[in-house]
Amino acid sequence: MLRWRRIASVAEFDLLWPLLADAVGRADAERQASLRDRYLDLPDHRLYAVDDAGSGIGVIGVRMQGGAPHEGEIVHIAVRRDCRGKGYGRLILQGLAELESSVETWTAETDDDALGFYQALGFRTEDLGERYPGVRRYRCSLQAK
Ligand SMILES: CC(C)(COP(=O)(O)OP(=O)(O)OC[C@H]1O[C@@H](n2cnc3c(N)ncnc32)[C@H](O)[C@@H]1OP(=O)(O)O)[C@@H](O)C(=O)NCCC(=O)NCCS
């Protein structure tokens, strides 16, 4: 059974950073500081650490968009490298849907590396084209209700 912990302090964020950095394109100190501010200060942003049997296995960051229908954006998701391919990513997204049960539509933007993950989980995907040289981006969306 996975245990969820919302990250609420600088110390917690910095401990989690090596894991979160795997889901961040340019993972330098400047980016760490800007994401720290974003997740700790912006009321619509939430960052969760996910543990299994006391061991940290993943992280997920979301942005909740108000209004109706409620929309939630998966901004970052990473599973610890030695835990990948074992179903944790799927469990994290299922757990997120339970935790944030008001969300009717989940969205995410991703690249070729994680596209198959979102497709395997039933997300519809739309090709946004080459946003940066050599980097194709996709918008993914899933109707939760
Ligand atoms: C993407 C990521 C979160 C997936 O986590 P995971 O625990 O390995 O995924 P799961 O084991 O739960 O896989 C669930 C399904 O997705 C598929 N899948 C997972 N990663 C995939 C990938 N990169 N490409 C294609 N399919 C993938 C699995 O085969 C599985 O399908 P199945 O249930 O039909 O067999 C993980 O690989 C990761 O942390 N990557 C680095 C960070 C990243 O790229 N984040 C996403 C962009 S921000």
pLDDT 10s digits, 67-122: 766 999 999 999 999 999 999 999 999 999 999 999 999 999 999 999 999 999 99
Other beta carbons within 10 Å of 145: 10
Which residue ranges form the domains of the chain, and what is each CATH number?
A: 2-143 (3.40.630.30)
Residue 77 Cβ inside 6 Å of ligand 1? The answer reads yes
Ligand 1 closest atom vs CA 116: 25
pLDDT 10s digits, 119-138: 999 999 999 999 888 889 99
User: Distance from first CA to last CA of the chain, Å, rounded?
Assistant: 24
Q: Which of 117, 119, 123, 138 to mutate to test the pocket of ligand 1 (most atoms within 8 A of CB)?
A: 117
Task: Kindly give the distance from the C-alpha atom of residue 87 to the centroid of ligand 1, in angstroms, as a whole number.
Answer: 8
